[in-house]
Amino acid sequence: MRSTDRQRGDEMIKRIGVMTSGGDCAGLNAAIRAIVLHADTLGWEVIGIEDGTHGLLDRPVRARRLRVDEFDGSLLRRAGTILGAVSTGDPFAFKMPDGSVADVSQRILDGMAGLKIDALIGIGGDGSFRILDRLTRQGGIPFVGVPKTIDNDVPGTDASIGFHTAVEVAVEALDRLQPTAQSHHRVMVLEVMGRDAGHIAIHTAVAGGADVCLIPEIGYSLDGIASKLQAVKDTGRAFALVIVAEAVKTDTGEPVAHRKPDGGIRYGGIGQWLAERIEVATGADARVTVLGHVQRGAEPVAVDRVIASALGVHSVGLIAAGRTGRVAVWSRRTVSDLPIEDVVGQTRPVEHDDVLVRTALGLGIYLGDLRT
């Protein structure tokens, strides 16, 4: 059970904080706008904290009052986040300039205390929720999470903010690759993001008419891919479209990734690896497109604006109701919420019985060595 000393009802709330944390995506400004607009209807002030917890580490703290009229114009449709975001730096094991590692959580909490906020909304992914939950528990500050990530791997929510826009960008890329693939009789390989989940890849494959779609959740073989491409050729079609999610491993299980200076993993390169193998295995002329961060920087599509607005309003409502320590979620075309413990430390991979897996198989897309 969550500690009740963090629960504060509507009558005690005067000012809340909001931050965007982790990698950016489309729809963050729409969520911030919804929080500011709804808080205003309750007579609350909203303080926007810059660059996630980093803004609270600096002195003076980097944060500012967000006013309703700031959102009159283009912010609803604008990509990125007006608050800035960082995806590095665990406050409990923070890399200091001299290379040492320190716990800076109390300094962040002191920074937060100076803002005199009664509750915090963190728009983030699983990693951010884990850190912010621990931090706000330590400081006794009511916390609500709003899920965002193009990877769509937050449990309990059908879609996190930014996912639909990332898929739109990837489908648009496939729409542009198809004519040139057809003209030159080529195999076009499109590498998409998603970290360890294949949601972007499989949605793109279905919406964009791919022939092969490799996701981290399903094993595959080069023979399987070659057979599928041969079958396509046998129908008289001289081009093919292949999607590969960035975290897919080689056929022998080796990750294709780079080690970051902080020890983390940066994916990238499986598309090139795959295209070379396809050329050898089939004799086809293959080309690779790595979409990368263009999936994050696009203007939010309408459904992302809708979800961001609904989750933003709901998160403020949760604070008003004293129901904190929760994550607002979007499921079956409505908003609800889950205890943060049910979200933190979990991921949401593409399940083998997912409707999109069944749809892709039904369309004859090669998804790997999946027996259904």
CB of 26 to ligand F6P, least distance (A): 12
| Residue closest to ligand F6P (Cβ) | 193
CB of 125 to ligand F6P, least distance (A): 6
> Which member of 18, 20, 21, 23 binds ligand F6P (CB under 6 A)?
23
Please identify, using beta-carbon distances, which residue of 296 and 314 lies nearer to ligand F6P. Answer: 296
> Which member of 21, 128, 136, 149 binds ligand F6P (CB under 6 A)?
149
Please identify, using beta-carbon distances, which residue of 26 and 240 lies nearer to ligand F6P. Answer: 26
- Record the tokens describing residue 88, joined without a space: 């590095």
Please identify, using beta-carbon distances, which residue of 93 and 321 lies nearer to ligand F6P. Answer: 93
- Record the tokens describing residue 358, joined without a space: 């069944």
Three-state SS for the chain is CCCHHHCCCHHHCCEEEEEECCCCCCCHHHHHHHHHHHHHHCCCEEEEECCCCHHHHCCCCCEEEECHHHHCCHHHHCCCCCCCCCCCCECCEEECCCCCEECCHHHHHHHHHHHCCCEEEEEECHHHHHHHHHHHHHHCCCEEEEEECCCCCCCCCCCCECHHHHHHHHHHHHHHHHHHHHHHCEEEEEEECCCCCCHHHHHHHHHHCCCEEECCCCCCCHHHHHHHHHHHHHCCCCCEEEEEECCCCCCCCCCCEEECCCCCEEECCHHHHHHHHHHHHHCCEEEEEECHHHHCCCCCCHHHHHHHHHHHHHHHHHHHCCCCCEEEEEECCEEEEEEHHHCCCCCCCCCCCCHHHHHHHHCCCECCCCCC
- Record the tokens describing residue 42, joined without a space: 């309750």
Pick the piece of the chain touching ligand F6P (CB under 6 A) from 66-74, 177-185, 190-198, 298-306. Answer: 190-198
Place of tokens 């972007």: 200
Quick check: 193 binds ligand F6P (CB under 6 A)? yes
Q: Tell me the per-residue interface mask from 85 to 124 with ligand F6P, x by CB under 6 A, - otherwise.
A: --x-------------------------------------
> Which member of 195, 199, 228, 314 binds ligand F6P (CB under 6 A)?
195
Quick check: 194 binds ligand F6P (CB under 6 A)? yes
Please identify, using beta-carbon distances, which residue of 195 and 203 lies nearer to ligand F6P. Answer: 195
CB of 295 to ligand F6P, least distance (A): 7
Out of 24, 133, 151, 211, the active site residue is: 151
Pick the piece of the chain touching ligand F6P (CB under 6 A) from 36-44, 147-155, 331-339, 360-368. Answer: 147-155
Residues of span 293-352 touching ligand F6P by CB under 6 A: 296
Number of amino acids touching ligand F6P (CB under 6 A): 12
Please identify, using beta-carbon distances, which residue of 296 and 326 lies nearer to ligand F6P. Answer: 296
CB of 20 to ligand F6P, least distance (A): 13
* 151 noted as active-site residue: yes
Please identify, using beta-carbon distances, which residue of 118 and 196 lies nearer to ligand F6P. Answer: 196
- Record the tokens describing residue 228, joined without a space: 């599928």
Quick check: 151 binds ligand F6P (CB under 6 A)? yes
Rg (CA), the chain: 22
Task: Give the residues lining the site for ligand F6P (CB under 6 A).
Answer: 23, 87, 149-151, 193-195, 246, 266-267, 296
The residues that are catalytic are 151
